[in-house]
Chain A
Amino acid sequence: QKEVEQNSGPLSVPEGAIASLNCTYSDRGSQSFFWYRQYSGKSPELIMSIYSNGDKEDGRFTAQLNKASQYVSLLIRDSQPSDSATYLCASRRGITGGGNKLTFGTGTQLKVEL
């Protein structure tokens, strides 16, 4: 079992719809969670970080964390074609400090169709 699991997709949504991306993790010591967006041939770009249970909103993005269920999700509202990319979920042990590695899932490919 991988530490961080994501459905590889592709997930296709029409323009303007809500895209829902999901991630589960197996390490109960994970305390911090991150969503990255990676366009083909480019480097990962941080979208959101979330550290406590519940929802965290930033513009069109909402991250949701449920530590009891070991589940993280990312909602993208009003999806745009420019949102088409691979979305990587990552977990990390601990909250404070800067040195603990991130463990990445293999990503979900999102396609937003016109």
Chain B
Amino acid sequence: GEEVAQTPKHLVRGEGQKAKLYCAPIKGHSYVFWYQQVLKNEFKFLISFQNENVFDETGMPKERFSAKCLPNSPCSLEIQATKLEDSAVYFCASSQSGLARPGELFFGEGSRLTVL
């Protein structure tokens, strides 16, 4: 599609439960990024993909967070055993690989995770 589509918009989980978020990038975009926004404007990079391959996972808390981008499926971000501090808005963004406008990220509407 022409927009980054994220689902669900809101997700509420009890501490210790699993949370799974989904993202469909803009059609034709090769790169997908996940960011976590806490405390209003603190944007934390989590992971990026080039098609189905992990490109950069330096921001991922490896113990409980995992992500995948599989062919012909939305990308996903999964948090096992959620903690209170995981409460945040999780943004997915995509970018194209061409030389025109390199690096420009286009964001989805975000998924708000609340851990109780």
Other-chain residue from A38, A46, A88 in contact with B106 (beta carbon distance below 8 A): A46
Q: Would you give the shortest CB distance from A39 to chain B, in whole angstroms?
A: 12
A104 touches B109 (CB 8 A): no
Contact assessment for B105 and A43 in the assembled complex, using a CB-CB cutoff below 8 Å = no
- Judged by DSSP, the binding face of A is loop
Instruction: Take A88-B41, A101-B56 as given contacts and tell me if A44 and B103 are in contact as well, using a CB distance cutoff of 8 Å.
Output: no
Q: Does A106 interact with chain B (Cβ within 8 Å)?
A: yes
Q: Count of chain A residues with Cβ under 8 Å from any Cβ of B?
A: 27
The answer on a CB contact under 8 Å between A46 and B48 is no
Interface residues in chain B, defined as those with a beta carbon under 8 Å from any beta carbon in chain A? 29-31, 33, 35, 40-43, 45, 48, 50, 55-56, 59, 91, 95-99, 101-110
- Which A residues contact B (CB, under 8 angstroms)? 8, 32, 34, 38, 42-46, 49, 51, 86, 88, 92, 94-104, 106-107
